[in-house]
Amino acid sequence: MRRANAQIACGLAFAGNPQHRVQPAAKPKTVAAMPERIPLLKARLLVENGDHVKIGTPLYEDKENTDIVFASPGAGKIKKIVYGPRRVIREIVIQLDDEETAETFTPYPPKELLRLSPGALKEILLKGGVWPVIRDIVYRKVADPAQTPAAVWMATDNQDPFHPPAETWLSSPEDRRFFQTGRQALEILCSRVFFCRCTDFPPLDPEIEKIVTHRISGGYPREDPAVIHYHSKTGPDQNLAWFVSGQDVRLLGEFLESGRFPVRRTVAVSGIPVEGRYVQTRIGTPLDTLAEPGKANGHRWVVGGLFRGYSSVPESHLSLYETALGLIEESGRRELLGFMRPGYNKPTCSRTFLSVFNPSPLPVDADMHGSKRACVNCGNCTRACPVQILPQFTYKCILAGEIEEALSHGMLDCVECGLCSYVCPSKIELCRTFQETKQAYFRQRI
């Protein structure tokens, strides 16, 4: 049940893959909701400091669409609300009760589920605070319930180093039943529900394998739903699509069957200083319950994959969408004559280090490996891009303020995978620029 080391599309493998071992975590003292980490969300609080909430109680809503509410991942007293710059709500921390209570909703076992209309189902999901697990493929934000997507993708495999493979959270018959129920619910919302798996991942239960509609091979980010959607859409009417990550499909199913907001999360903890493993914990768990802060001194805490994730601190919590914690070294050591070392151990997508002859997974760190320069038109970013964007030209359009031109370059197809920024020898923040421009474009359009 081991899987190959996470690879990125250029064939590079990173070290630190967790061993396949799922451990249940002890119950944490606090959990938190993190509105800041929901892309493009303007959140409005629905609770105050000191309020008592149950699992599933709405904690905050989307200011622009108040139907979208976010459920509490724990029951207890609101301990503190942490704000970031410009009063963005960073964390809503809940001190957990010993005996947790949950809001209850009407359960919908599969038989009854199938009788629901799309509108009714949407309402149920919105009310239950589980709607936000359905995301828009273009902006990666919460899906707009008023829209009709051309397709919904279920993504069980995530090769961004390092995510828990499907068999870690889809092992029991109950898990699989929930997953199937979740899929049925999605099929009510959209007639085209697709399920893509990586060919080099071990097969799952035959019943699950039966519903797979697409198979792809190749490293990160080939398996990303937005990448697959880009390659399978056939016309502009199909641009709008949604995706749901695998654990969230299961979450939808469990919510519908049990009538309670499910909080289970299986998280991959990886990195050299920790014992890499898969932890069965819950949404919003404090990061220091996943790895020991003392041991990880001088390390960057990356929540989410190393490419898409964000830096965090041990005191922070696991945000709704994330199922990975990676610790990578952040030494800041200036290597003597670093740029002319043969580099048998240096990860690179280029052919300029001896590591091209090194088949083993290579150690990574949170270092830029160089300083920022002007673009030299080397084309590395274009070769890396999974959706045929020409990042260097699109980037220049954006800098020149030619947003229309950037759009015609396919900027909205950018899946924000970060490979272009990864390979750029001039260390240009291409991906961040695209992400910010996409978001600015979205905000300006509405």
Binding interface with ligand SF4 (CB under 6 A): 375-381, 384-387, 389, 391-392, 414-420, 423-426, 428, 430-431, 434
Least Cβ distance, residue 7 to another protein (angstroms): 14
Q: What string marks each residue from 384 to 403 as x (binds another protein by CB under 8 A) or -?
A: ----x-x-xx----------
Angular region, 240: left φ>0, alpha ψ -120 to 50, beta rest: beta
Write out the binding residues for another protein, residues 226-285 only, by CB under 8 A: 233-236, 238-239
Least Cβ distance, residue 391 to ligand SF4 (angstroms): 4
Write out the binding residues for another protein, residues 7-26 only, by CB under 8 A: 14
Write out the binding residues for another protein, residues 122-141 only, by CB under 8 A: 138
Least Cβ distance, residue 399 to ligand SF4 (angstroms): 11
Element (H, E) at 79: strand 76-83
Judged by CB, which is closer to ligand SF4: 131, or 220?
A: 220
Judged by CB, which is closer to another protein: 103, or 223?
A: 223
Q: Are the CB atoms for 94 and 81 separated by under 8 Å? A: no
Least Cβ distance, residue 416 to ligand SF4 (angstroms): 5
| Structure tokens given for 328 | 């990578």
Among 97, 275, 330, 402, interactor with another protein by CB under 8 A: 330
DSSP tag of 403: H
Least Cβ distance, residue 156 to ligand SF4 (angstroms): 21
Alpha-carbon distances, residue 312 vs 90, 159, 242, 343 (angstroms) = 12, 21, 27, 29
Write out the binding residues for another protein, residues 36-95 only, by CB under 8 A: none
Least Cβ distance, residue 422 to another protein (angstroms): 5
- In terms of Cα–Cα distance, which of 184, 61, 64, 225 is closest to 131? 61
Angular region, 377: left φ>0, alpha ψ -120 to 50, beta rest: left
Residues 190-202 as b or e (16 or more Cβ within 10 Å = b)? beebbbbbbebbe
Among 367, 403, 439, 442, interactor with another protein by CB under 8 A: 367
| Structure tokens given for 312 | 């965090």
Among 1, 26, 336, 446, interactor with another protein by CB under 8 A: 336
Judged by CB, which is closer to another protein: 78, or 306?
A: 306
Which residue shows structure tokens 């209570």? 101
Contact between 418 and another protein per CB under 8 A? yes
Q: Which does 414 bind (CB under 5 to 8 A by kind): ligand SF4, another protein, none?
A: ligand SF4
Judged by CB, which is closer to another protein: 254, or 329?
A: 329
Contact between 328 and another protein per CB under 8 A? yes
Give backbone dihedrals phi and psi of 13, rounded to 5 degrees, phi first.
Answer: -115, 135
Least Cβ distance, residue 439 to ligand SF4 (angstroms): 13
Among 36, 288, 429, 442, interactor with another protein by CB under 8 A: 429
Among 21, 80, 295, 373, interactor with another protein by CB under 8 A: 373
Tell me the C-alpha distance between 17 and 164, whole Å: 10
Among 18, 424, 434, 437, interactor with another protein by CB under 8 A: 424
Least Cβ distance, residue 350 to another protein (angstroms): 5
Contact between 361 and another protein per CB under 8 A? no
Element (H, E) at 443: helix 430-445
Tell me the C-alpha distance between 332 and 140, whole Å: 32
Judged by CB, which is closer to ligand SF4: 61, or 136?
A: 136
| Structure tokens given for 199 | 């060919």
Least Cβ distance, residue 216 to another protein (angstroms): 19
Report the greatest alpha carbon distance in the chain. 68
Tell me the C-alpha distance between 48 and 52, whole Å: 9
Q: Judged by CB under 8 A, how many residues of this single chain contact another protein?
A: 77
**Residue-by-residue DSSP string for 256-318:** HHHSS---EEEEEEEESSS--EEEEEETT-BGGGTS-TTTTTTEEEEES-TTT-EEE-TTSB-
Q: Which does 50 bind (CB under 5 to 8 A by kind): another protein, ligand SF4, none?
A: none
Taking the CA atoms of 201, 207, 208 and 213 in sequence, report the sign of the dihedral they define.
positive
Alpha-carbon distances, residue 203 vs 81, 173, 279 (angstroms) = 43, 15, 21
Among 20, 211, 407, 439, interactor with another protein by CB under 8 A: 407
